[in-house]
A = this chain, B = another copy of it.
C-alpha cells in the first residue's frame, strides 16, 4: 500500500465495470446498499462531531473483525483529513455519496480490496453498507451483503423496531433499509426515442430511474439506474424479485430494439457508432457529457460486434476514468474545466490507440 490509499484504488479499473457479469452487454452493475444505525447513538444529522467520531471508533472496531472490510488489502478513508480531489475520486468510483462528504469530520469509509464492498460511517445513516458487482446478479449481491450485515449485526446492536424494522434517518429507508439498483446501458431505447415512455412506465411500478450520478442528475451516456422506491412492508427477497423482473423486461426490450435498429436502420446505427468513435479518436477537447455519450455509442457498437478489435474492458474503464477528479489525479495537478476537457480528449485518443 502506498501512503495515500487513493493511489491504490487508481491502480486498477473499477471492478464493477469489468463486463464479466450476467447480461453484461446491457446490465452494467448490480448494487445493494443497506442503511443501519446503532442503538443508543444519535442519528448522524443530529449528532455532534464528537458523537460521530465516537461512533466511527465503535464501527471501526467492529469492522476490524470482518475479513472483507477490515482484513488485508482493505482500505480505510477519513474524509476529514482528505483533499477535496481525493474525496471526488471516491464519489466518481461510486464508493461514497455527496451527502457523505457534506459532513466531513467524524465520517469514515471502508473499502474491500476489489471495491465490491464498502461501508460508509455517518452518511445520512450511521452505517451504509454497499455491495456492487458487474452485470445483473441481484441474488448473489444480496447473499453477499446479507452475510456482511449478519457479521456486523453480531458485534453492533442495530436500531430495530419489531413493527417497523430497521430505523433510519429518513423515513423512506425505514423497514429493510435497503436500496437495490441496477445500472443499465439503454442506447437503443434512447435512439428509438422509446426511453421516455419506458421511464414513465417504470415510475408507475414504484421504481425510480436516475442518471449515472444518482438522484437529480441528467441522463448521460444512455446509462440509467433503476432502483426500488419503497423499503417498508415488503421482504428483501420480494423487493429484489420485483426489481429483477422489471430489469429483465427492460433488458429484453433493449435487446429487441437493438436487433430492430441493426436490421432496419443499419446505416443510421453505423453512422451513430462511427461518429462516436471518430470523436473519441480525433477530437482535442471533449466535455464529460460528450465523452460519455461517445463512449456509449462505442460500447453499443462493440456489443453489436461492429468493433471486433476493440478491447471493451478498456472502453468500459473509460466511463469512470474520464471523470474530472480521475483525470486530475492522473494529470497530477488541478485542471481548469477547459484544460480538463483537453486532457480528457488526449486520454481517450491514447486509450483508443492502445485498444485498437
Contacts and interface: CB of A to CB of B under 8 A. Distances in A.
Contacts of A270: 284
Q: 4 nearest interchain CB pairs?
A: A278-B278, A274-B282, A271-B284, A278-B282
Interface of A: 267-268, 270-271, 274-275, 277-279, 281-285, 342, 345
B282 A277 contact: yes
Given A267-B285, A268-B285, A285-B268, A275 B278 contact: yes
A94 to B, nearest CB: 30
Contacts of A277: 278, 282
Contacts of A345: 271
B271 A275 contact: no
A274 B271 CA distance: 17
A291 to B, nearest CB: 13
Contacts of A268: 284-285
A269 to B, nearest CB: 8
Contacts of A267: 284-285, 342
Contact of A278 (B271, B283, B285, B342): B283
Contacts of A274: 282-284
- Residue of A270, A275, A284, A345 contacting most chain B CB atoms (<10 Å): A284
Nearest to A339: B267
A278 B274 CA distance: 8
Contacts of A271: 283-285, 345
Residue among A268, A275, A282, A345 with max Cβ neighbours from chain B (10 Å): A282
A337 to B, nearest CB: 13
Nearest to A276: B282
A267 to B, nearest CB: 5
A251 to B, nearest CB: 27
A274 B275 CA distance: 12
